[in-house]
Amino acid sequence: MDASLEIVVRSTEIDVNGHVNNAKYLEYLEWGREEWYERANLAYDKFLDLGIQTVTVNININYRKECLQNDRLTITTRPERLGRTSYVLKQEIHNQRGELVADALVTSVTMDSHTRTSRPVPDELARLFAHLAS
Amino acid sequence: MDASLEIVVRSTEIDVNGHVNNAKYLEYLEWGREEWYERANLAYDKFLDLGIQTVTVNININYRKECLQNDRLTITTRPERLGRTSYVLKQEIHNQRGELVADALVTSVTMDSHTRTSRPVPDELARLFAHLAS
Amino acid sequence: MDASLEIVVRSTEIDVNGHVNNAKYLEYLEWGREEWYERANLAYDKFLDLGIQTVTVNININYRKECLQNDRLTITTRPERLGRTSYVLKQEIHNQRGELVADALVTSVTMDSHTRTSRPVPDELARLFAHLAS
Amino acid sequence: MDASLEIVVRSTEIDVNGHVNNAKYLEYLEWGREEWYERANLAYDKFLDLGIQTVTVNININYRKECLQNDRLTITTRPERLGRTSYVLKQEIHNQRGELVADALVTSVTMDSHTRTSRPVPDELARLFAHLAS
């Protein structure tokens, strides 16, 4: 399942160099992942009910093009890889001209919210990666 | 009781116009108030124990001078006025040359954390304003 | 002339207390003013052509209600008062239930971009306040 | 050459989950790199004089531990790898207990500031990687 979110770059998101700062891209990616989880009916509360927390352990991001004020960005999120206790989402940001401005792999692990030890990815989440199985 | 906090302006706090953005000053002020509460032994937990929450209801800020990257700012916070269920803190930001870059009056009210209705300012907080009484 | 801008509260705009932070409201207000200037055909470049810069000297903001993640906020901006070298905009933020969450008066002065001394508000801007004249 | 920068985690840097947000770590890393460039006498102006701009093209960050308000973080930056037109810095963030909270590889390319095409890493920068040569 893919999810897309469209946003507009605002003035206070522009840094001293006149474009969107590196760090801000990671906020955009987070907003995109929130959208993906919500579309998948996997809101924060759902995980809580399962006694599970997801924790981001790695982000590997390529910066391709700069973003300017008023740019309309589309953030897409889709399943990339499923492990036993971890999973990877692939995210891309395109601008209003269809240009790729950034792409990233985001690796998360699933943990027991009480013991804080790793736990298998729950079925509710794993099924979203099913089509990737060889 | 006064409290001061010294900070350094960082690159990602500079906006498209090359100086610290209006909104960021309010973060600096909040950091200064946190310092003031901590020095007064009125940390967040203390209020919780009293069943009280403080809520900021008004900020009136004058912008006097711009701040640039690497500027060393001193944020001072002191009691200004005490009401029955509200109080006002006066905050100033000076740069490394002693110039006033901003000053603000910050009005908060004390509320019952459960009923969310206003409650008298607790003695622990009120005594910090005692020297202002006529 | 009024201008409105609609935005959605994102996860990274929520602070440790679970709601939008004080400082973030000032970013929302700035986004609203940018919209107002653009609708009035008074983009940044236009001022530059006139050799003028506008500088915010005071913001007086009332916080009325908290904002939560996914809230849809409408920021409205309208002329409030015109002086010789300064002007005041009135801004309000309402949530998706029509509740007023914050209102603010924002005072700016017009300055010569080279000499950095105050200059009369240019006609292009002053005419937007004409209907307020007694 | 290594450079270290010490900072304190502030209240407005804490997100809805009660710890420092993923994106904020990238701001900390940027502050650390600024410190490294300054210690190396390679401030922004120096690159401008050389007609060169450095552009970050990839950040690969591991999140190891959460950071909380008032944590004292040390950000270290050191040369990792030198290419013809690119270079990699290794950055680590430790907390006041000496625990590694994040580490990252940051890849930048050097570009001609006018033509925006890649250019060899200037000697002033390359010499900082000299001790890594086999």
CATH (domain of A26): 3.10.129.10
Q: Which of A15, A71, A103, A112 is catalytic?
A: A15
In tens digits, chain C (134 residues) has pLDDT values of: 799 999 999 999 999 889 999 999 999 999 999 999 999 888 778 888 889 999 999 999 999 999 999 999 999 999 999 999 999 999 999 999 999 999 999 999 999 988 989 999 999 999 999 888 65
3-state secondary structure of C29: helix
Residue B2 annotated among the catalytic residues of the structure: no
**What are the distances in angstroms from CA B5 to CA B29, B108, D19?**
10, 20, 22
Q: Answer yes or no: do C27 and A10 touch at CB < 8 A.
A: yes
Is the sign of the CA dihedral B27, B93, D71, D33 positive or negative?
Answer: positive
- A48 pLDDT band, cuts 50/70/90, is confident
A30 contacts on C by Cβ (under 8 Å): 10-12
Q: Note the pLDDT of residue B16.
A: 85
Q: Number of structural domains, chain C? A: 1
Q: Note the pLDDT of residue D133.
A: 64
Could you read off the pLDDT of C17-41 as tens digits, one per residue? 899 999 999 999 999 999 999 998 8
Q: Token pair 């940051």 is at which residue?
A: D106
Q: Note the pLDDT of residue C49.
A: 87
Task: State both tokens at D63.
Answer: 């999140």
| Dist CA B34 CA A84 (whole Å) | 43
Q: Note the pLDDT of residue C134.
A: 52
Strands B52-63 and B3-8: unpaired
- What residue in A sits closest to B69 (Cα-Cα)? A16
Q: Detail the DSSP E strand segments found in C64-97.
A: 72-82, 86-94
Q: Note the pLDDT of residue B25.
A: 98
Domain around B117:
3-132
Q: Note the pLDDT of residue C43.
A: 76
Q: Token pair 């032994």 is at which residue?
A: B41
3-state secondary structure of D89: strand
Q: Note the pLDDT of residue D77.
A: 98
Convert C47-57 to b/e letters by CB count within 10 Å (16 or more is b).
beebebbbebe
Q: Note the pLDDT of residue B113.
A: 87
A12 contacts on C by Cβ (under 8 Å): 27, 30-31
Which ipTM did the prediction report?
A: 0.94
- What residue in A sits closest to B24 (Cα-Cα)? A12
Q: What is the largest CA-CA distance in chain D?
A: 47
Amino acid identity of A110?
T
Which among D22, D57, D62 has the least Cβ separation from residue A62? Answer: D57
Q: How does DSSP classify residue C36?
A: H
| Dist CA D61 CA D32 (whole Å) | 14
Q: What is the mean pLDDT of the segment spanning B3-25?
A: 95
Could you read off the pLDDT of A49-93 as tens digits, one per residue? 889 999 999 999 999 999 999 999 999 999 999 999 999 999 999
Which among A23, A57, A58 has the least Cβ separation from residue D26? Answer: A23
- A133 pLDDT band, cuts 50/70/90, is low
Chains that touch C (3 or more CB pairs under 8 A): A, B, D
Q: Which residues contact D2 (CB under 8 A, 6 or more apart)?
A: D36, D76, D77, D78
Judge whether residue B134 has pLDDT over 60.
no
Q: Note the pLDDT of residue B34.
A: 95
In tens digits, chain D (134 residues) has pLDDT values of: 799 999 999 999 999 889 999 999 999 999 999 999 999 888 778 888 889 999 999 999 999 999 999 999 999 999 999 999 999 999 999 999 999 999 999 999 999 988 989 999 999 999 999 888 65
- What residue in C sits closest to B60 (Cα-Cα)? C60
- A21 φ, ψ (degrees, to nearest 5): -75, 150
Q: How far is C95 from chain B (nearest CA, A)?
A: 17
Task: State both tokens at D39.
Answer: 């210690």
Q: Answer yes or no: do D59 and A59 touch at CB < 8 A.
A: yes
